[in-house]
Chain A
Amino acid sequence: MNALRLYARYVGLSWRAQLQYRASFALQTLGTALLSVVDFLAIWVLFDRFKRIAGWSLAEVAVFYGTANIAWSLAEGIGRGFDDFGSVVKRGDFDRLLLRPRSTVLQLLGREFTLRRIGRIGQGAAVLAWGWRSLGLGWDAARLGLWLLAVAGGVALFEGILILQATLAFWTIESLEVMNTLTYGGVQTVQYPLAIYPGWLRRFFLLVVPLGCVAYFPVVRLLGRTDPLGAPAWLGWAGPFAGFLFLGVALRAWRFGIRHYTSTGS
């Protein structure tokens, strides 16, 4: 049975298991939705006072915010199996995954696909839709395609970060929360246009963890604006590929981590 069908099977099982606890699921989904509402509320408050940030309006920021949050929430839901990989290693359950004739990545992705993130995705979409309409931008095939590509690149990049975080668990099961700076911190950063930030922060999210390539350039292009710092427009279409590249790097690191694990034992 090929990998995609096996993954679909895993996901089906995961969703069934989560939906079993209907009440709890509903509460949690509501919880995440409310959480993200409060999140955007903070941004709204600031715009209420300051009106604009470095020349960008609230509606424009809403598009950045929505895109980034949708990508992250999807990635977080998909990559949950990697998120708590530390506990898998600690329990010694990773051996069992190695004893199966399948990719460990596939097996870990299949562990869980968290549905309650839907709350956050919904909120992100609502914010995005509001901003989009306020700006009076239309929808056409090219725009939709670019936006989907941006989200895909974002998901790939965030998955890469989660996989890197899990790879660290091969060396130490402590303190993996540093990677939260890249995921939560990353979303926190790119919810505003990258251009507003000081140089070092911009360079970090363009060259080290290319979240900016994925979440900034495409959206700038979608908004029909030019980058205040002078980046060329074609980066809007090229940017998301940085996310795919990053994922590739993360997967190599993962393989390296497995080599280390099988050499040193658990």
Chain B
Amino acid sequence: MKQKVNGLGIFGQVTMNNKVNKWVEDVISLYSEAKTVAIVGMADKRNIYSWLSKHPQFDKVTMYDYDPQRADEDVVTTDVVFDIELEEDLIINYACEKMWPLGEMYKNREFILIGDDEHHNGDCNAIDSNKQLIEQNCITDIWEFNKVPRWKGHYFMVAGCN
């Protein structure tokens, strides 16, 4: 019985990730004028990276993750808040709940911001609304926003510029 529940959980998670990724692809296609893209905190998700890497609009797409267990030839293992300065035109942050708002650090950029409200141990910035994402990241030009259910809460998602 337990295995069945776990199986459903994984299936549900994949479905939710697909919804998030579809939304990300849609807003990029509709609004982004970027040439370079930073993908932050993508964990084991690679769909958006694959899609962007093949997209003729983008010259360079880079994934960043501070977890050495995620190290890969396509991933820069670094903390984008404390270690380096991002230079990309578009910053996609899949883990807003885990870090200082990147829009506070980087101005005149395009952002796709995704965070959840599950308040896990290790979340310093649980995201409880899209308004929070907009305000924290100083987003002045809002392209779109969305809210997708996840296991115990929601993904909040905002796309725009600051």
* Same complex: no
Residues of B within 8 A of A (CB): none
